[in-house]
A and B are shown apart, each in its own frame.
Chain A
Amino acid sequence: MTYIAKPRLHHPNLTPNALGFTRRDYEGAVSTLCAGCGHDSISAAVIQACFELDLAPHRIAKLSGIGCSSKTPDYFLGASHGFNSVHGRMPSVLTGANLANRDLLYLGVSGDGDSASIGFGQFAHSIRRGVNMTYIVENNGVYGLTKGQFSATSDRGSKSKKGVINHDTPIDLVSVALQLGATFVARSFSGDKAQLVPLVKAALRHRGAAFIDCLSPCIQFNNHAGSTKSFDYVREHNEAVNRLDVVTPRDPIHIDHEPGTTQVVTQHDGSVLALHKLGDHYDPSDRVGAMTYLAQKQALGEIVTGLLYVDPAAEDLHDALGTVDAPLNSLNTAELTPGAARLQALNASLR
């Protein structure tokens, strides 16, 4: 419960990162989610990613909509400003926040109800605009906080806890994000921290709209036989295309790779993504190829995970708008107000 304060006493031997912060400094309040919830694993991955990237916690803004997933920003990065906004509207709030101050990192946390149903439009348009953000959907295929209704990502034919069969076609947010021009698209699984943490790190270091669809089983309402979002089902059908190592510019760049099996991508900020290929030949720099591959695997019932697409030279909304380098919220009266003399000239033109 969040009103139970976490102990402030930390182990004296906790290893600090380059900024002198320990992992504890990236934690938040105690989670109120159900024991075993996939979302808590994602929170842990965010904490680890931010710690390992040496990010200053207060320079991250975390925003969410409404739902179980949207509660999680309270459970990590307690030193960051957070905003639990309106159901399905996190993308617009994040867009506005980003416009106000381009210097912070923006982490948007949403769920499948929040992003694929009520907020499908805002999800789409924030991706289209290339808002510089990391947008994580904690996807469990179900409305947890209202106790078990299907969401728009529930697969056709999957069974609810009450035994109802879903008739509607699912929305695959990854495919939609690719089509809408997201410049970083990944899918992962809350049960695979080794895969998820590097993806979150790479997304945080990406400039542009970075989208991660993270399957995150709902232990209460969608973890039964007949569900296609259960721990067992996702494990059985998970088809990872690559394993990712993220090397930040600060680290000595040493990538262990065998020719032909590792693809190296350098992002705008100098971070290096080393993608170790698994299984099929898969090229994450080919948007159309990614869409085709996903469609083919989806038809076979497989869940493709990994870094599915990245454009390391992407531009963001600020580039498109040509805004000044200084955060807009830092501009002063002299920089914003044109002054009386300009009005005299304007008045003269209106007579």
Chain B
Amino acid sequence: MPHSLTTRPLSRTNDFVVKFANVNGSGSASANGMFAKSILRMGVPVAARNIFPSNIQGLPTWYEVRISEAGHLGRRGGVDLMVAMNPQTWDRDVAEIEPGGYLFYDSTKPMPPSKFRPDITVIGVRLTQICNAAYTDPRQRQLMKNIIYVGALSALLDIDPAVLETLLGEQFKSKARLIAANIEALNLGRDYVRQNLEPIGLKVRHADKVGDRIYVDGNTAAGLGAVYGGATVCAWYPITPSTSVAEAFTDFCHDYRIDPETGKARYAIVQAEDEIASIGIVVGAGWNGARAFTCTSGPGVSLMQEFIGLSYFAEIPAVIIDVQRGGPSTGMPTRTQQADLISAAYASHGDTKHPMLFPQDPGESFEMAALAFDLADRLQTTIFLMLDLDIGMNDWLTAPFEWDDKRQLDRGKVMTYEELEAGKDFGRYLDVDGDGVPYRTYPGVHPSRGAYFTRGTSRNPYARYSEEGGVYVDNVQRLLRKFETAKSLIPSPVLKAASRASKTGVIYFGSTTPAMNEALEVLEAQGSGIDALRVRGFPFADQVYDFIAAHERVFVVEQNRDAQLRTLIVNEGGVDPAKLPSVLHFDGTPITARFIVSEIGRQLGVSARVSVKEATQ
């Protein structure tokens, strides 16, 4: 085993990054998940991220576990311990290890010394040999190899074996034989380490930093939020990374939405033939008074454009959960980005714009999913809930789900049979209250009043046919008033002020939040703390523009190439773009704290030099 160390081995407790390099379809995901959860159960916060291919079997896949007693849940950048189980990616995996870091590999077959690095510690475990000696069935050899390496790692890192055994018990429930077999495999790995290897500098120690938080992915949370938000119709078409939203909604409906007396369903879920039909079903259901949603990703939003415009002009409630990914259709479906902001905000033809919600994590994905249905009804338009793959498909440590039992579904302005019967004036597109939001009726409500013929535009406030220019202008101006009303309903931005007054600010949103939080701490520790504003939706609240006005320069950090949030801010608020330098991360992996700190630092440094130069001229 090559062991020529030129750098001191890393020594860290409850603060390091482990990355597993696997082949997809090899059963590694559940073993890796158990590894992460065991640390969580020891009271130490973890953030785990899958970096996986658009494939079922045979391509490289990674699982990165950030262990952080301090509670940093973003990606840090860099790897302290690489579990290199995939020969295809060996070279790049080894190259990614931090100086002084560790490489864990299957040492059954000898590797040439050139395949290692002098500045890392190499940990060889004869996994294949152990497996082949213990098991005869090829599939069992494959699956148990994963458990054996978890056992070996647990011994190296001091992970409590009792916690792992509990987790296996939960996973296999009453299947005692499977539990015993897996515990045996764990011990094969643990025993090998104890008998053959020296302790390493990375350790996990019991702590109490997890609290009452839960560990769940954003798509599950959004599906649950749709149940709590009262959605009864879901129409969807499979597309990574949004598919599991519909699957979660289906599962939760099975659990929570069956009529106890009849056994019948208080919901209808249709897997449609495409995204156009999905949004068509949603619009039809919304028109008819049901709460309806679809879940999709960028390519699906592209296909839905015509209907989104109809929803805007005909004023029909709809909710679209967009789990963003790398574009385009044959793009990077399994990689994360925040790159659908502009296509969602201004979706469709004609003058259109649509409210969006930006959850920071699964906890907010739940809350905002439920909120989206109230907003759709109140504003009678399409509401976008903008998740991304990082939030949607990774398990996050997040606030527990909460619900106020006094909360009632807000169905917005719906004129009832009684109101119509009493002779209340009904004009489907009449701005009665001055907030741009008209009243609507559900089809079938009254024998002789309240019926109207739904069209996009070309009708007057009473929904009667008209192609008059003035009528059109009045109508679309009213839609702008409605968009103003939306501002007051979108969750307010969240301010994090620096410890000392700062002339520099930063704006960010969504899954960037945990990395941003850590970056802010680092900047603060470096003595260059900046004020931060987390934007939670579109249209932007006045606070966003007040924040920009109150600072000399405001960085906008986002995970796309074209600075889409910044474009929206500039476009909607008339801000001087020069005031808003960008920090952009868009390689498909989640943004890291290191990246943010170095980019902001670089740009602050660059401008500092410029100002020095200017001063000397």
Q: Which A residues form the contact surface with B (CB < 8 A)?
A: 2-3, 29, 56-59, 61, 63, 73-74, 78-86, 89, 91-101, 103-104, 121-122, 124-125, 129, 317-318, 321-325, 328-329, 331-333, 335-340, 342-343, 346-347, 350-351
Contact = CB atoms under 8 A, between A and B. Distances in A.
26 contacts: A73-B453, A78-B451, A83-B453, A83-B454, A89-B306, A91-B277, A91-B280, A93-B284, A96-B282, A96-B290, A97-B284, A97-B285, A97-B443, A99-B232, A99-B292, A103-B444, A122-B280, A317-B270, A318-B268, A328-B285, A335-B266, A336-B227, A340-B402, A340-B405, A347-B401, A351-B213
B400 interface: yes
Interface of B: 210, 212-216, 224, 227-228, 230, 232-233, 235, 255-257, 259, 262-270, 272-274, 276-290, 292, 306-307, 310, 400-405, 407-409, 441-448, 451-455, 464-466
A124 B274 CA distance: 12
A334 to B, nearest CB: 9
Nearest to B467: A3
Contacts of A29: 465
Contacts of A125: 272-273, 277
Given A79-B448, A86-B307, A121-B273, A329 B215 contact: no
Contact of B444 (A81, A93, A332, A336): A81
Contacts of A337: 227-228, 230, 403, 407, 409
Nearest to B404: A340
B256 A100 contact: no
A340 to B, nearest CB: 4
A3 B214 contact: no
B265 A322 contact: yes
Contacts of A333: 230, 407-409
B488 to A, nearest CB: 23
Contacts of B400: 343, 347
A26 B494 CA distance: 56
A101 B444 contact: yes
B284 A331 contact: no
B260 to A, nearest CB: 11
Contacts of A350: 214-216
A82 B232 CA distance: 22
Contact of A56 (B212, B213, B310, B447): B447
B464 A92 contact: no
Contacts of A61: 288, 443-444
B444 A96 contact: no
A329 B289 CA distance: 5
Contacts of B259: 324
Nearest to B448: A79
Given A61-B288, A323-B264, A336-B230, A92 B256 contact: no
A166 B586 CA distance: 51
**Closest 5 A/B residue pairs (Cβ):** A96-B284, A92-B280, A100-B290, A81-B443, A329-B289
A275 B318 CA distance: 44
A29 B452 CA distance: 12
A336 B266 contact: yes
Contacts of B447: 56-58, 79
B472 to A, nearest CB: 15
A336 B264 contact: no
Contacts of B235: 92, 95-96
B278 to A, nearest CB: 8
A2 B452 CA distance: 14
Contact of B214 (A73, A336, A351): A351
A74 B452 CA distance: 10
Contacts of B269: 321
A140 B417 CA distance: 40
A94 B284 contact: yes
Contacts of A321: 265, 268-270
B405 A328 contact: no
B329 to A, nearest CB: 18
A71 to B, nearest CB: 10
Given A86-B310, A336-B230, A336-B257, A93 B283 contact: yes
A323 B285 CA distance: 14
B285 A100 contact: yes
A92 B232 contact: no
Given A78-B451, A101-B290, A350-B215, A2 B464 contact: yes
A96 B233 contact: yes
Contact of B280 (A56, A89, A328, A331): A89
Contacts of A122: 273, 276-277, 280
A339 B401 contact: no
B93 to A, nearest CB: 31
A16 B597 CA distance: 79
A346 B400 CA distance: 9
Contacts of A351: 210, 212-215
Nearest to B409: A333
Given A89-B307, A129-B270, A323 B289 contact: no
A1 to B, nearest CB: 9
B291 to A, nearest CB: 8
A96 B215 CA distance: 34
B400 to A, nearest CB: 4
Contacts of B404: 340
